[in-house]
C-alpha cells in the first residue's frame, strides 16, 4: 500500500456514541449508539467541506457489541479502499468501548502505509456540547497530513498509537491515554504536531493474516480472558477449555502476578495444549520481565489486546 498523497479520504461509519442520540440534549448517558449515518456526521461539520471526502456506512453498532464478523468486514473494506490510487487515507468512526481492540486488530492485519485513522466520541451527537464533530475534523486533518501513516486513533486532540491506546475513563471526553509512551502526535488548531515515529507493523505477517482471516469466523480460534483476584479458585479455566478455548489470557494483578489456584489451573490447560499468556489488569506498565518458569508474558499489551494478538498468533499456526 503506497504512502498517502493527494486524493480522497474515505470515511467508514460503524456506529458508536459518535453517531448516537438521546431524547434530551442534556442526557449524555441515556442515549442509543449508532443512530445517525456517517454522511450525517460529515454534514454536521462544515469545515470538512474543504476536503475531498467519500462517506460509506459499513455498520451501525454499539462497539460493546463488536464482533469478529464485523472485524473481518471492516478489515476487508479498509484494505479495498487503501488499494485505490485515488484514496490517500481511511477514517473509521467507531464506538469507544472496543476502539483499542479494533485498532490493534487493524494494525496487525493491514500493516498500512497510508493512514487509517479511528475516531470516536464520549458524548452522543445530540449532546449540548458533543465531542464527535471536533474529533472527526481532527481525524480527517491527521489523515490528510502528508507523511502520516499506519493505524492511528484520534481523540481529544491526541493521536494515539494502536499498541499504546487505551480507554482509561468511562465518562470524561478525555477518556483515552497512551500508557507511558504518550501520544504519537497532537492536533493543534488544524495542525498536526508529530512527537514520535508513526506506528509500523510487520507486512509479512499482515499478508499471512489476511489470508488466514478469510476463513469463516466460526473457525477463528477461541481465546478467552480470565481474571486473577482475591478468592480466585481457577474453576473457570477448565470450563473455558471444555467450551473450546485454544488460548487463555490471564489478567493478572500488578506485574502479571497470578493467584496460586488460578496458576495451577492455567498450567493444567497449558499441558493440554492451550496457549496461555499473562497480562496485567493495571492500565499502565504492562508486564515487565519474565521470571524463570513463569507463564508467557503479553508484554505491554492490555488483556483485551493480548486476547486479539493471541488469537492472531493461533491463526498463523493453523
- The Cβ of residue 141 has, within 10 Å, a number of other Cβ atoms equal to 22
Helix, strand, coil abundance in the chain, percent, nearest 5: 35, 25, 45
Burial class (CB in 10 A: 0-12, 13-18, 19+), 166: buried
The C-alpha atoms of residue 306 and residue 303 are separated, in whole angstroms, by 5
Kindly name the residue from 14, 17, 141, 145 that is annotated as catalytic: 17
Q: Is 316 exposed, middle or buried (0-12, 13-18, 19+ CB in 10 A)?
A: exposed
φ/ψ (deg, to 5) at 16:
85, 180
Question: What does DSSP assign to residue 300?
Answer: T
102 is catalytic: no
Q: Which helix (H) or strand (E) holds 57?
A: strand 53-61
| Catalytic machinery residues | 17
Amino acid at each position: 500500500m503506497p504512502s498517502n498523497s493527494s486524493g480522497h479520504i474515505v470515511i467508514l461509519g460503524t456506529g458508536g456514541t459518535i453517531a448516537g442520540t438521546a431524547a434530551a440534549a442534556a442526557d449524555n448517558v441515556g442515549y442509543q449508539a449508532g443512530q445517525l449515518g456517517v454522511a450525517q456526521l460529515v454534514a454536521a461539520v462544515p469545515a470538512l467541506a474543504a476536503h475531498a471526502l467519500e462517506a460509506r456506512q459499513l455498520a451501525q453498532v454499539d462497539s460493546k457489541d463488536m464482533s469478529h464478523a464485523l472485524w473481518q468486514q471492516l478489515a476487508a473494506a479498509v484494505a479495498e479502499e487503501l488499494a485505490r490510487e485515488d484514496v490517500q487515507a481511511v477514517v473509521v468512526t467507531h464506538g469507544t468501548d472496543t476502539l483499542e481492540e479494533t485498532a490493534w486488530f487493524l494494525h496487525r492485519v493491514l500493516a498500512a502505509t497510508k493512514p487509517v485513522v479511528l475516531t470516536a466520541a464520549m458524548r452522543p451527537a445530540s449532546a449540548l456540547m458533543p465531542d464527535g464533530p471536533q474529533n472527526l475534523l481532527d481525524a480527517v486533518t491527521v489523515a490528510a497530513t502528508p507523511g502520516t501513516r499506519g493505524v492511528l486513533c484520534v481523540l481529544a486532540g491526541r493521536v494515539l498509537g494502536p499498541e499504546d491506546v487505551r480507554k482509561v475513563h468511562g465518562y470524561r471526553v478525555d477518556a483515552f491515554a497512551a500508557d507511558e509512551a504518550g501520544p504519537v502526535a497532537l492536533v493543534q488548531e488544524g495542525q498536526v504536531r508529530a512527537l514520535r515515529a508513526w506506528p509500523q507493523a510487520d507486512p509479512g505477517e499482515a499478508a499471512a493474516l489476511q489470508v488466514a482471516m478469510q476463513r469463516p469466523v466460526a473457525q477463528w480460534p477461541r481465546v478467552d480472558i480470565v481474571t486473577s483476584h482475591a478468592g480466585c479458585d481457577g474453576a473457570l479455566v477448565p470450563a473455558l477449555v471444555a467450551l473450546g478455548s485454544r488460548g487463555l489470557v490471564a489478567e493478572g494483578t500488578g506485574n502479571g502476578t497470578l493467584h496460586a489456584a488460578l496458576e495451577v489451573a492455567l498450567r493444567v490447560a497449558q499441558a493440554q495444549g492451550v496457549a496461555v499468556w499473562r497480562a496485567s489488569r493495571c492500565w499502565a506498565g504492562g508486564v515487565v520481565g519474565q521470571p524463570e518458569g513463569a507463564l508467557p508474558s503479553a508484554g505491554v499489551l492490555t488483556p483485551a489486546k493480548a486476547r486479539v494478538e493471541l488469537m492472531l498468533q493461533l491463526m498463523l499456526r493453523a
